[in-house]
Amino acid sequence: MELNERKELAELLFPNIKHDRDYYEKMYPDRNLKEGAMVTRFGPSPTGFVHMGSLFGSFCDAVFAKQTDGVFYLRIEDTDQKRSVENGIEGIFNDLEAFNIVPDESSVVGGDYGPYIQSERTEIYQTYVKDLIEEGYAYPCFMSEEEIAQIREEQELSKIKIGIYGHYAVDRDLSLEEIKEKLCNKEEYVIRLKSPGNAENEIEVVDCIKGRMKFPEHDMDTVLLKKDGTPTYHLAHVIDDHLMHTTHVIRGDEWVASLPLHIQLFKILGFKIPKYAHTAPITKKDEGGIRKLSKRKDAEAKVSYYEEVGIPIEAVKLYLATILNSNFEEWYLNNSDKSIEEFTFTFDKMAIGGTLFDLDKLNNISKTYFSRKSGEEVYNETLEYAKKFDKDYALLLEKYEDDMIKFLSIEKDSDRPRKDISKYSDVKEEFSYAIDELFYKENYAKYDGGKQFSTSLIKKYVEDVLNLEATNEEWFNDIKEFAVENGYAASPKEYKKNPENYIGHVGDICEALRVMITGRDKSPDLFSIVKILGKSRVLERINRYENLTR
């Protein structure tokens, strides 16, 4: 077709386009950012929620934009109506907000490069496609689904590349007259790329994460606009990333295979190609193998899971930072007073293969996170959690506020604070002895069949010796002295030397006291617990223990 015919065709197909591409180029000028600033975007489909893979992606986007004083924007990619659900956009914003991942520009906060919802940009895509038609890089294709399925079958049988290319692209060279006739007959059509590529040529792309990659040139007549005039992902993202001035396209590596097409589209549209960073999928160990984390199979793939089980958002983000850059974890362990924002992330420290998502590791990171919080902070956050997910416990927490904060503060000021909590729901279990109602209800049940201790000696100790005003050293000396007076060795070492001389050692007395007042054989510093409970509650617990084990 000659240029004048192509022009006529373009008008015929897009009679209602109001502007030309210059209009949009002017409307979305270069961003005025400093050298090196990254413009990143998160492009979710409105499926109603964010899963771990896309949370990770948006976390990367936000981190890289922020640390370079760039822009991170959110673009809703709703070109595939099958993947859209009602209120799907709201769910995405809620999930991101819960993780404090806040785009600088979006359909909610606005921005100069909107609309930020692809379905509101149809006219823009069509404008560029109209231009491609004029230039001979696109054409209407009237092939029916049956015809395409038949071609596919044939290609599968002969084991050749699947798709519409070469002589399979039957409508590629229709004349203007033929097209007019089909349009007159109201035949349905899509707009396809008239690919200028040749698969015998090679193209090279340098990915920020995966490095140098080589591909055969794209040579398929891929669909650009669907029958209803809406764009495919391929076309839409290329036009949007150009007009919104994305500098770095960070996305899942399932898109690597389409990269030659995308590069071709950038070239024929005359756009500068952004940098690509393809992230490895989030995987998990399963039955000896490793597979992709699945929205369907894995509860932890849904980001709302963390809120429900009570893993703090910050801990999840620390974990994301850990899997984002392999050198983050060590840095965090050595910089206990710093926050994620103070670390400089780089692409070269990102995984090329799969990124293993390990809940145990996340729990460990969460324990470190909790260990660095003050007792009061842990109390406040746990109360917030309980108000939402465990109302009865919230009431108890409020009733025991002073005690709880004291319990949660035990051993906090040491160099190696305790790491006993990985989620808010652990507090109830780990500190059940802090609340009488829970302690008497749940803990005594656990004594059944356990090691039993004689209460008379412990009672004697509490009544005659225990001094709540003592220093730690005095308390321990007192208990040692008491042990010796009652036939126990002053240390396990001494006991081991001559076990026949003793009933046991001082540790046994501590253990008995610990079990009686906490219901557990391990606890934070015993004297601190005793001091918070006070003598009468300690005695009350010993008496109850006596009744229970009698």
Binding ligand GLU by CB under 6 A: which of 43, 48, 140, 197? Answer: 43
Amino acid at 470: A
- Which residues does 322 contact at the CB level (< 8 Å), separation at least 6? 328, 329, 332, 361, 365
Query: CA angle at residue 206 from 201 to 212, to 5 degrees?
Result: 75
Q: What is the CA radius of gyration of the chain?
A: 33
207 counts as binding ligand GLU under rule CB under 6 A? no
Structure tokens at 296: 């369907």
| Cβ burial 135-159 (10 Å sphere, 16+ → b, else e) | ebbbbbbbbeeeeeeebeeeeeeee
Q: What is the DSSP string of 408-431?
A: HHTTTTSSS-----SSHHHHHHHT
How many H helices and E strands in the chain? Answer: 24, 14
Stretch that binds ligand GLU, among 37-45, 147-155, 192-200, 481-489 (CB under 6 A): 37-45
In total, the chain counts a number of residues equal to: 550
The least distance separating ligand GLU from the CB of residue 80, rounded to whole angstroms, comes to 8
Residue whose CB is less far from ligand GLU, 84 or 304? 84
Structure tokens at 114: 């909107």
Amino acid at 236: A
Residue whose CB is less far from ligand GLU, 77 or 131? 77
Binding ligand GLU by CB under 6 A: which of 45, 246, 283, 366? Answer: 45
Cis omega (within 30 of 0) for bond into 15: no
Dist CA 45 CA 312 (whole Å): 26
Structure tokens at 237: 């993202």
Task: Spell out, one character per residue from 98 to 137, where the chain touches ligand GLU: x when CB under 6 A holds, - when not.
Answer: ----------------------------------------
44 counts as binding ligand GLU under rule CB under 6 A? yes
Binding ligand GLU by CB under 6 A: which of 251, 284, 367, 428? Answer: 251
Dist CA 222 CA 174 (whole Å): 17
Residue whose CB is less far from ligand GLU, 278 or 406? 278
Binding ligand GLU by CB under 6 A: which of 13, 60, 71, 77? Answer: 77
The least distance separating ligand GLU from the CB of residue 233, rounded to whole angstroms, comes to 6
234 counts as binding ligand GLU under rule CB under 6 A? no
Residue whose CB is less far from ligand GLU, 296 or 391? 296
Strand duo 282-286 + 289-292: pairing: antiparallel
Stretch that binds ligand GLU, among 40-48, 207-215, 371-379, 478-486 (CB under 6 A): 40-48
237 counts as binding ligand GLU under rule CB under 6 A? yes
The least distance separating ligand GLU from the CB of residue 45, rounded to whole angstroms, comes to 5
Residue 87 is classified by DSSP as: T
CA dihedral 541, 542, 544, 549 (to 10 degrees): 140
Residue whose CB is less far from ligand GLU, 251 or 514? 251
51 counts as binding ligand GLU under rule CB under 6 A? no
Residue whose CB is less far from ligand GLU, 253 or 314? 253
CB 44 within 8 A of CB 295: no
Residue whose CB is less far from ligand GLU, 38 or 405? 38
Task: Convert 275-306 into a string of H (helix), E (strand) and C (coil).
Answer: EEEEECCEEEEECCEEEECCCCCCHHHECHHH
Size of the site for ligand GLU (CB under 6 A): 8
Q: What is the residue whose two structure tokens read 């004029």?
A: 134
Residue whose CB is less far from ligand GLU, 354 or 504? 354
Stretch that binds ligand GLU, among 41-49, 102-110, 423-431, 454-462 (CB under 6 A): 41-49
CB 333 within 8 A of CB 368: yes
Q: Which parts of 150-189 interact with ligand GLU (CB under 6 A)?
A: none
CA distances from 541 to 296, 510, 525 (A): 47, 15, 18
Stretch that binds ligand GLU, among 39-47, 65-73, 160-168, 492-500 (CB under 6 A): 39-47
Alpha helices for 200-268 (secondary structure H):
233-243, 259-268
The least distance separating ligand GLU from the CB of residue 251, rounded to whole angstroms, comes to 4
Residue whose CB is less far from ligand GLU, 10 or 249? 249
Task: Spell out, one character per residue from 421 to 460, where the chain touches ligand GLU: x when CB under 6 A holds, - when not.
Answer: ----------------------------------------
Binding site for ligand GLU (CB under 6 A): 43-45, 77, 233, 237, 249, 251
